[in-house]
Structure 1
């Protein structure tokens, strides 16, 4: 089994997409790209500023263009923004020549991991937990539909998640290959 040309990591904010993506890319010898950070670099502004000036729709247009560009690259791990799945037009860009990993985490873990982060415009609300629950209800079916693999990250260290991903994406031993076939390679 050979490595996929691209690995795309999707999931909600606070799931660990950037941290796990960076570690995974290092282990595989791939480049790592965080689509949100790349948008910020090219705009010369952070995401909250883009949301303030252009609105969410303006940001989503920038995101769609970025994902389309990244769909043409190889030997890369791409961490997407949590809302990348909301535009149906992004689905082809996310799936094209890619192995898509959904990092799934509970809303409680999201709350814990994002509570001090002021760089998340959608969470600048009176009740961030309610926002996260609403976003989960809307986005989880889309993440699940697009995913080649669903990896649960609650109470797992990023290094453990990366080890598990590598074993599932590119099993090396006969025992690992049998286990992947047995489990259907979908939920971990």
Structure 2
């Protein structure tokens, strides 16, 4: 969800794991040659979502990485299946009041343009959170230092990634993420 901290936390998570960080929105803008608000204005949300799905599918074939997807990407069943095929999905679950405080800092969110941002955001939360709950890992994003959230993600990844069969005591992060992708 927009404002959950995907980019900020994702960058820090990637650094801790020694993996590249990739922001799907940045890649979508590069592929389209214009900003996401411009894509929405010129072509509409359906066109944007189709391009988003294609770009994310390409990125998932790019090797180990921490991939931050846009808030609507996880709503696409094909994208969820592609992430499940090659990686671990992480939902940064944030309360509405936290999201609202964060999204009000920026004016480049097409789905929140116009009046009554709170009602629009509440609608998106109600619509998307049940689908977001299908992620492999859920971590609560809140007003704490980003590194606290990263630490919680790393603990959750240790719990969900397979252990090295040759060494049952090995950390899941040391072997698991070298061949897995993480989507935040």
1:163 aligned residue: 151
Query: Which ranges of structure 2 fall in alignment gaps of 5 or more residues?
Result: 160-168, 173-184
Shift of 1:151: 0.3
1:53 aligned residue: 42
* 2:38 partner SS: helix
Of the candidates 79, 85, 102, which is equivalent to residue 90 of structure 1? 79
- Count of residue pairs the alignment pairs up: 163
In 2, the alpha carbon distance for the partners of 1:143 and 1:123 equals 19
Contact 2:6/2:92 (8 A) holds in 1: yes
In 1, the alpha carbon distance for the partners of 2:55 and 2:155 equals 29
Contact 1:39/1:66 (8 A) holds in 2: yes
1:137 aligned residue: 126
Q: Following superposition of structure 1 onto structure 2, how do residues 1-188 of structure 1 map, counting pairs within 5 Å? A: 12-145=1-134, 147-170=135-158
Shift of 1:24: 0.4
In 2, the alpha carbon distance for the partners of 1:72 and 1:38 equals 14
In 2, the alpha carbon distance for the partners of 1:152 and 1:115 equals 20
Contact 1:71/1:96 (8 A) holds in 2: no
- What do the CA deviations read for 1:55-106 (whole angstroms, capped 9, x no partner)? 0001001101011112223220000000012222222122221111100001
| Bigger Cα displacement from structure 2, 126-135 vs 63-72 | 63-72
* 2:4 partner SS: coil
In 2, the alpha carbon distance for the partners of 1:162 and 1:152 equals 11
Query: Which ranges of structure 1 fall in alignment gaps of 5 or more residues?
Result: 1-11, 178-188
2:176 aligned residue: none
